[in-house]
Amino acid sequence: MKEVVFRKAEYDYAVLKPSVFEMIDSICGSSIRKSMKVLIKPNMLLPANPEAAVISHPLVVKAAAEYILEKGASVQISDSPAVGLFDKILKEGGYNKVFKGLDVEFKAFKTSVKVDIGEPFGFIDISKDAMEADFIINVAKLKSHAQMFLTLGVKNIFGCIVGMKKPEWHLRSGINREMFASLIVRIYKAVNPQATIVDGILGMEGQGPGKGGTPRYIGRLIGGKCAFSVDISICRMLGIDPDILPTNKAAKDINLTEYDINITGDFKEVSGFVFPDQDRLVFGPKFMQKSLRRHFIQRPFADNSLCRLCGECWKYCPAGSIAHDKKKLYFDYEKCIRCYCCIEVCPEGALRAAETLPGKIIRKMLIS
């Protein structure tokens, strides 16, 4: 039976540090040895103040790093951010300040190695540092996610895909959410972190995982050896069927999940968590599905009063479906694959996914 532990926690380091130490100790402490190089993989999506709940809080990462250093091992902290320089995230995210004087290496993932993750994907490029680390602690953030519903432990490992290879995979998975979930699950399996801690102290609800989401206090750290079990347990805490999460479902389809989980510690159901609006991507008679999808599923929209025309969204868009003039953005919804990466990377929180009116009407007619 898999074990998952919940701990009440706050971003008060005097309280947080012993909680993180205790958690890592119970999950994998005896396996961390002197002379090991331990990689910590936080969620460093984009430059943001920790209070925005977009990134793993630096104090949680610091406590994990201090635990490893006390074991005599060395620490590398790495991610491949969607937007902005890694250094900018360290500064704006408070990492530079919090880690002052601690002997750790911060390094953006840059180089990849080919790894066979199995059919239908075959060999794909995954961060060399992640594949060669002696030990990995995955420090994820609890956030809503417009495309994948939630981003928790398993999804965080998608950050081991380097730079622009990420949008490339979005494009290759196209509109198929299940295919993308299956890709993430196989990447997680290949990277195989030894421990996962999810920072759910200040989580994010609504239109996450970028700045369009809303911080939501939950006050919990959740950890375990197996991120699938951690994610399933978090779904239970949030009061939803774990199979709603596409990564849980994809893992179940290839027998990677166990639903019989021994949950210990401070588990408490959270009520009223706001999940992102999500359309079904397949509805209607089979011969109409493609056309219905193209015209009626929720689309990215820009709030022009917030948009600064910074260019991050159109540079990142895997389908090349965002154009602009000097005043505003234009979306090509024929080309758009509804990956919602643009929403994720917008530094201003100016983008939202919203269902079209005809989509709402048609869906109601076809479902009822």
**For residue 178, with 0-12 CB atoms within 10 Å meaning exposed, 13-18 middle and 19 or more buried, which class applies?**
middle
- Near ligand SF4 by CB under 6 A: residue from 6, 95, 149, 340: 340
Q: Please, which of residues 278-337 interact with ligand SF4 by CB under 6 A?
A: 300, 302, 307-313, 317-319, 321-322, 329, 331, 336-337
User: Smallest distance from the beta carbon of 313 to ligand SF4, in angstroms?
Assistant: 3
| CA dist 143 → 26, 55, 133, 200, 208 (Å) | 25, 9, 26, 8, 6
Q: Report if residue 211 touches ligand SF4, rule: CB under 6 A.
A: no
Residue number with CB closer to ligand SF4 (60 or 341): 341
Q: How many residues bind ligand SF4 (CB under 6 A)?
A: 27
| CA dist 301 → 145, 313, 330, 349 (Å) | 16, 12, 9, 11
- Near ligand SF4 by CB under 6 A: residue from 197, 339, 352, 359: 339
Lookup: tokens for 278: 């999500």
Q: Report if residue 89 touches ligand SF4, rule: CB under 6 A.
A: no
User: Smallest distance from the beta carbon of 148 to ligand SF4, in angstroms?
Assistant: 13
- Near ligand SF4 by CB under 6 A: residue from 293, 351, 352, 359: 351
Tell me how crowded residue 328 is: count the other CB atoms within 10 A of its CB. 11
At 84, give phi and psi (nearest 5°): 85, 160
Q: Report if residue 181 touches ligand SF4, rule: CB under 6 A.
A: no
Give the Cα separation of 317 and 174 in Å (integer).
12
Comparing CA positions, the residue from 83, 97, 226, 202 lying closest to residue 143 is 202
Q: Report if residue 346 touches ligand SF4, rule: CB under 6 A.
A: yes
- First-residue to last-residue Cα distance in the chain: 41
User: Smallest distance from the beta carbon of 356 to ligand SF4, in angstroms?
Assistant: 14
User: What does the binding site for ligand SF4 look like in residue numbers (CB under 6 A)?
Assistant: 300, 302, 307-313, 317-319, 321-322, 329, 331, 336-342, 346, 348, 350-351
